Chains A and B, each alone.
Chain A
Amino acid sequence: MTAIIEGIGLTKRFGYGDAAVVAIDSVDIRIDERELVMIMGDSGCGKTTLISLLGCILTPDAGELRIDGEEIDLTGQDLSLIRRQKIGFVFQLFHLLPYLTALENVMVAMDIAKTDKSEAEDRSIELLTRVGLSDRLHHRPAQMSGGEKQRVSFARALANRPKVIFADEPTANLDSRQSDNLMNLIQELRQEHQTTVVIVTHHEGLKENADRIVYMKDGKVITS
């Protein structure tokens, strides 16, 4: 299998001086193409920080990162381009833009990537229909349930055909039925789009969906 993401010696500290906390401590990690990897561990062990580093939404203090065979220059490279072209993010709290409809929330990701408007609209409708929200296209986040918002969030993450989707506790705010539905959807989408998926979760019941599980403790990977 080819590695889609490789992190070597990734380290991240928060705070300064005596108050400094090492959130990620020299972590080496490899994610292969089309894998569904789950990162698990206790609260505060550094799971979210790790996928944030891997997904280029947080800059490490030390370490090297390679995405899709490309060495990431963490001090000089335009990371927004990497995020735009290769990465999709799904957040625990959805983080949809409250003033946009479901359709517009997906379209905005493509607007950022300078996709033609009509093409973006067609693809957004297609994605939202695929996640079962064809009847909610023009609803705003405040008019949708948690499960619906999470599905919009997935559609948005898929908008620019990323190589990897990172999902941070995607089922944390969903009931068990919604969680199961979402995991089924993720599995289907992963197959359809040939996408690598990395999920951070506490939810033991989701383990059976994973190709591989990475356990973390105190900022370190203990089992991979």
Chain B
Amino acid sequence: MKSFFLKDMQYRRARVVLTSLGITVLISLILLLGGIMNGMRIQAQQYVKSTGADIWISAEGSGGAFIGFSLLIEENMAPLNTRRELKEGSLSPLIFAQARPIIRGKSTKAIVVGYMTDKYGGPKQVLDGEGRMFKSSEFQDYRPEDPIPLEVIVDEKMGLEIGEQITIGTEAVKVVGKTSSLMFVLDTPLIFMDVRVAQKVLLGNYPRVNMMIAKANENREPEKVAAFFDAEEKMEARTMNQTLDDIIAYYVDEPMKAVQFLRVMLWIVAGLLVGMITYVTMLEKTQEIGVLKAIGASNSYVMTHLLKQVALISVVGVTIGFCLAYVFAAAAPIFVAINLVESIIVAGISFIVCCGSGYLAARKVIMVDPLIAFRGEIDGGMFRHSPTVAYSDAS
């Protein structure tokens, strides 16, 4: 009877459903937590990668472009433009700072990016039909008293309209265009503006920048160029990859240590719970296993019967958990990026844990005499110490 195990499951459908549900919830939680961290990593990297720069220079002692407080006097950095280690004219001033713009009367979380449109640091154009780029200031000849165009372009997902006014610091700036989304960690939107505007609204109109970014000369390795500048006084230099590592460590791994810990705990709890559920379910079938053995079933027959059930419950639980995680990820208020490979690994491990615990429980039951099993005396002292174990049923 091939459907023998299915009939058993159908008969005990409440338990089967509950067991599968338990596995489903645990799997989807594990995948979601992983997806949240993965999403943060992706968001932490996408702006830096979008700039195209491979050398990131910040103030000495800052620990890196995005790590500690960094203010550079751009005039002091200007001589770097002539260095042969860098691509000619690639040195770009950049302001990257957290801000609380007032949008429609509400204080909102955002990051202000000040850059020069003809250099590295931000988008070169807006989305089709979504306004225009902001006007650039005359950066090189700038005097603080000169008027500047208070215009910004915003992330398309911010929901702002072209022409809308937002307040950053004490200045009202006008949204003139929308750019494709480059959300930073935890869905923090970026507001792009001319570097002079950023200095005006965030730095009290002082001609400072947070960092300088550049492109290494084509015949130079970025690692060597970064190391070369890093050795100089008054600046720290990193490659793009080093910068990405810094950002992930600073914005994702450090603050998410608790979540990571929670995730590890969840893994352990999930493993234990799934194992326990399967184990207890198996032990509850002790009497039935005893009967099957008493009417001639070999250990392998009983084990196959039980493992088919565990495997099916695991597959159903893991599959639904897998799908549910993707549904929750799509509906989540933050960016969640579930990694397919990780999902498959999680699913695989969960399946192995389920089947493993099922196997251990089933093995415990089938290794005793049928009479002991169907009397349900397996956990009694009788079983533990007496030689009633039927080692002879090895088949």
Contact = CB atoms under 8 A, between A and B. Distances in A.
A and B from one complex? yes
Interface of A: 13-17, 19, 52, 55, 57-59, 61, 73-81, 83-85, 87-89, 91, 95, 97-100, 104, 107-109, 111-113, 117, 156-157, 160
Closest 8 CB pairs of A and B: A84-B296, A99-B11, A16-B385, A57-B370, A80-B298, A83-B296, A58-B371, A78-B395
B1 A15 contact: no
A119 to B, nearest CB: 13
Interface stretch (B145-153, B186-194, B386-394): B386-394
B297 interface: yes
A165 to B, nearest CB: 12
B292 interface: yes
B1 A104 contact: yes
A59 B392 contact: yes
Contacts of A99: 7-8, 10-12
Contacts of B292: 97, 108, 112
A111 B1 contact: yes
Nearest to B382: A14
A87 to B, nearest CB: 8
A19 B294 contact: no
A107 B371 CA distance: 22
Contacts of B390: 59, 79
Contacts of A17: 385
Interface of B: 1, 4, 7-8, 10-12, 287-288, 290-299, 301, 369-372, 374, 381-382, 384-395
B4 A80 contact: no
B296 A160 contact: yes
Tell me the dominant secondary structure on chain B's binding face. Answer: helix
Contacts of A87: 296
A74 B392 contact: yes
Given A16-B386, A84-B296, A100-B7, A108 B381 contact: no
Given A58-B369, A95-B287, A108 B392 contact: no
Contact of B392 (A76, A85, A104, A111): A76
A160 B296 CA distance: 10
8 contacts: A14-B388, A57-B370, A58-B388, A79-B390, A97-B8, A99-B7, A112-B292, A157-B295
Given A97-B288, A112-B297, A113-B296, A78 B394 contact: yes
A79 B367 CA distance: 12
Nearest to B391: A75
Nearest to B12: A99
A59 B293 CA distance: 13
B386 A81 contact: no
A77 B388 contact: no
- Max chain B C-beta neighbours (<10 A), residue from A59, A111, A117: A59
Contacts of B10: 99
Contacts of A16: 381-382, 384-386
Contacts of A88: 295
B338 to A, nearest CB: 38
B387 A59 contact: yes
Contacts of A97: 8, 288, 291-292
Given A17-B385, A81-B298, A99-B7, 4 more contacts: A16-B381, A79-B392, A80-B393, A95-B291
A201 B299 CA distance: 30
Contact of B297 (A55, A80, A95): A80
A89 B386 CA distance: 24
B381 to A, nearest CB: 6
Q: Which of B1, B8, B288, B385 has the most CB of A within 10 A?
A: B1
Contact of A80 (B11, B287, B293): B293
Contacts of B382: 14-16
Nearest to B389: A59
